[in-house]
Amino acid sequence: MRISKENIKEFAYGLGMDLCGIAGVDRFAGAPAGTHPCDLLPGCKSVIVVGVKLLDGVIQANFRAFENGWRDLKGIYGTYGYTILPNFELAYACYALARYIEKKTGRTAMPCSTGPMTNGVQISIRHAAVAAGLGVLGWMGLVLTPEFGPRNRFGVILTTLALEQDPMYSGQVLCNPEKCGICTEVCPTKAISSYNDRSQSFTMEGKTMEYCVLDWNKCQLAIYALTKELGGEKDYVTTGNPTAEDIRKALEQKPISGSGLQHANSWHCGKCLTYCPAGNWALRFRKTGLSQGPKF
């Protein structure tokens, strides 16, 4: 049976997905060795990306944590916005969509892992989302969609089924780091480089996207809450400029989490995602009274 791009999208939306885009493998020509779709699935012809919007109510839990100091509410973000859901929803949808393709066409379809509980890294999900036309990389390195800004999660299915690809995003500018810089300013550990400091870029189908140089060690200070100031039980790290070894030792000291599915919970921050103005942020949050805005 022959199925079209429209059939794929209709099926994905029927599974509850908010976004769906398709890219051909030619757009991954610059992928690092071992992460090209054809490295993972020989004969791959199409990359299908599905996405779900993070609930505004989940984001507002972050506002209460950041603006009112109610750190216990971060567990709502961890459960419904980061670790468990929507990643289980994405995993189910990717599996169901892969089954649909194989049953209807006889072609091979491989769902990739989603979220922080992945079993290894197969493909760059964010680059796949850009390739599928769903959005662009924002300055902080997360995918921005016109509908939701960075407040999305994505899943990927690789398939040997040839499908018509979607055009890459070419709508309104979603990120202007030269004029904005909110993600850099709100980052509690200054892990996101400023626009005038350092940047990196990648080019896909003639479109070049520039984004920050992220200090991953500093970022981990915040997402794992490795100091008391950042919400941790104690100061597992005592320097503001940690090395990879400092982070490794700190994570070894932390007790195994009893409050989630991760060995060490990595949902303690998300400030850049929470306060990014893209995706009608002011209309949905500031104008509704859910947030007073970022405090730098």
Q: What is the pLDDT of residues 187-209, one digit of tens each?
A: 999 999 999 999 999 999 999 99
Nearest to 96 by CA among 107, 111, 86: 111
pLDDT digits (tens, 9 = 90+) for 58-85: 999 999 999 999 999 999 999 999 999 9
pTM of the model: 0.96
Alpha-carbon distances of 245 from 31, 74, 109, 193, 230, rounded to whole Å: 28, 27, 39, 22, 19
Residue 293 forms beta bridges with which residues?
none
User: Other CB atoms closer than 10 Å to residue 11's CB: what's the count?
Assistant: 19
Q: Which two tokens stand for residue 35?
A: 């992460």
**CA torsion through residues 80, 82, 84, 85, sign:** positive
Q: Residue 144: beta bridge partners? A: 136
Whether residue 49 is predicted with pLDDT greater than 80 in this model: the reply is yes
* 152-159 vs 109-111, strand pairing mode: antiparallel
- AA identity, residue 88: F
Please give the Cα distance from 277 to 175 (Å, whole number): 9
Say what the pLDDT of residue 232 is: 95
Share of the chain above pLDDT 90, in %: 91
**Least confidently predicted of 15-29, 188-202, 235-249, 260-274:** 260-274
For all residues of the chain together, what is the average pLDDT? 95
Residue 221 neighbours by CB under 8 Å, 6+ apart: 189, 191, 227, 230, 237, 242, 247
Tell me how crowded residue 25 is: count the other CB atoms within 10 A of its CB: 20
Pairing of strands 136-137, 143-144: antiparallel
The predicted pLDDT at position 223 comes to: 97
Phi and psi, residue 226, nearest 5° = -90, 5
Q: How much is the CA Rg of the chain, to the nearest whole Å?
A: 19
Going by pLDDT thresholds of 50, 70 and 90, the confidence category of residue 55 is: very high
Distance, CA of 141 to CA of 202 (rounded, Å): 11
Segments in 33-86 forming alpha helices (H): 37-40, 56-68, 74-77
* Residues listed for the chain: 296
- For residues 212 and 199, the answer to whether their CB atoms sit within 8 Å is yes
pLDDT for res 117: 67
Sign of the torsion formed by the C-alpha atoms of 111, 124, 163 and 16: positive
Kindly tell me if the per-residue pLDDT of 233 is higher than 80: yes
- Region 147-154: mean pLDDT is 98
* Every domain of the chain and the residues it spans: 5-286
- The C-alpha atoms of residue 255 and residue 105 are separated, in whole angstroms, by 48
Specify the DSSP element, H or E, that contains 220. Answer: helix 216-223
What is the torsion angle, in degrees rounded to the nearest 10, for the CA atoms of residue 276, residue 170, residue 197 and residue 221? Answer: 40
User: Do 164 and 239 form a contact (C-beta atoms < 8 A)?
Assistant: no
